[in-house]
Amino acid sequence: MLRREFLAVRNRLTADDVREAAAALADRALELPELAHARTVAAYVSVRGEPGTLALLDALRARDVDVLLPALLPDNDLDWGAYDGEGSLDRVQHGGKMALFEPSGKRLGPDAVTAADVVLLPGLAVDGRGMRLGRGGGSYDRVLARLERAGAHPALVVLLYDSEVVARVPAEAHDRPVRAAVTPSGVHRFPGN
C-alpha cells in the first residue's frame, strides 16, 4: 500500500516537474565526494516518474567515469553493461512489467557490479536509518546480497524526490541501509552506513 501511495504522487508529476528535478538532482549528486572520486559507478536509467538520471549519467561519463547500467534477467536478477551515451540504450519490454532502458552493448555479467565504487539505487522512499523502500521486485536486493558475498563495499546512494525522505519505511532482515539519499534540494546522509 505504501508503494502505491508513493507511485501515485510520482504519477501526478508533469514532464516539466520531472525535467527540473532531474537537473537539480544531477547537480546535487555531483557534489558527493563519493562520486568525485569514483572510477566506476553502477547506476540505472530512470523510467516513468522516477527522478531523472540521464543528465547525471552523462555528467559522470564527461568525468571519464565508467558507468554500468543494469539489464533485467528473466529471474529478476540484473546483468550489467556499459553506458556510452543515450544512443547506447535500447528500450526493452519485459513481459507484463514496465519497459526499461538497458545498455545495448556487451553484457558484463551479474558480478560486474562488484567493481563499482558507488551504486546509485532506485527507490520509492528512504527513512532516517537509511533504509530504502524499493519497488518490491527484489532485483536490487540480489545486487546488495551479491556485493556482500563478494566483500565489496561501494557507497550505496538512493536517488529520490524531496517528499520521499520520510520518518520510517518497513524493513526486513535482508534489507541493507544506504549511505546517502540525493534529492533535488540536497543530500541526506545516514550515519554509520
Q: Is the pLDDT of residue 159 over 80?
A: yes
Give the pLDDT of residue 52: 93
CATH number listed for the domain at residues 2-187 = 3.40.50.10420
Q: pLDDT tens-digit profile of 56-97?
A: 999 999 999 999 999 999 999 999 999 999 899 999 998 777
Give the pLDDT of residue 115: 97
| Three-class HEC string of the chain | CHHHHHHHHHHCCCHHHHHHHHHHHHHHHHCCHHHHCCCEEECCCCCCCCCCCHHHHHHHHHCCCEEEEEEECCCCCEEEEECCCHHHEEEEECCCCCEEEEECCCECCHHHHHHCCEEEECCCEECCCCCEECCCCCHHHHHHHHHHHHCCCCEEEEECCHHHECCCCCCCCCCCCCCEEEECCEEEECCCC
Q: pLDDT tens-digit profile of 23-51?
A: 999 999 999 999 999 999 999 999 888 99
User: pLDDT exceeding 90 applies to what percent of the chain?
Assistant: 82
Segments making up each domain of the chain, as ranges: 2-187
- pTM of the full predicted structure? 0.94
Q: Is the pLDDT of residue 98 over 80?
A: no
Give the pLDDT of residue 43: 98
